[in-house]
Amino acid sequence: MGENAIVPPEFRQVLSSPLPDVKHLNLRLDTLPMCWSITKLADGLLWLAPHTLNVSIRYGALDESTFKLSFSYKKEGETATCCKSFPISCWQHCIEEVKLEITDEYYQGEKNSNSYILKGVDIRKQIDALCGVAVL
């Protein structure tokens, strides 16, 4: 995924989200992009469906991997004010906690699954670090 996955930032400042009430978002990719970042993809998906509860990203043909992100949001008034000019606040400042589940399913039937609970100001870096290890 490129730097501006799904919707470029300049459009986010003037456009409203097309899916404001979606709570569960599922994305299926047949192949894994060569250069990608799970947080850039999640950023684009969370602009399309802000404050969604779950994002599931599945990719692969014979061997499949799934990244499931479950979000807990801060209470109203606890979020940063850096994105007030946007119609939708940026997700990294609204998130209190992310539960990340990484599952790899192999065509031979073997399955490997790991779960993580992420908190703090560097949630994006934590997600990319864990997903980077998973996709190598």
Using an 8 Å Cβ cutoff, are 124 and 39 in contact? yes
Tens-digit pLDDT profile for residues 12-38 = 777 888 888 899 999 888 876 656 678
Report the share of the chain in percent with pLDDT over 90.
Answer: 21
For residue 127, is pLDDT > 50?
A: yes
Q: Between these two residues, 59 and 26, which has the higher pLDDT value?
A: 26
Q: What is the mean pLDDT of the chain?
A: 79
Tokens 């703090």 correspond to what residue?
120
Residue among 49, 48, 69 at smallest CA distance from 57: 69
Q: How many CB atoms lie within 10 A of CB 46?
A: 24
Report the share of the chain in percent with pLDDT over 70.
Answer: 76
Amino acid code (one letter) for 99:
K
Query: Could you give the dihedral angle defined by the CA atoms of residues 86, 88, 91 and 94, in that order, rounded to the nearest 10 degrees?
Result: 100
What's the distance, CA 89 to chain centroid?
15
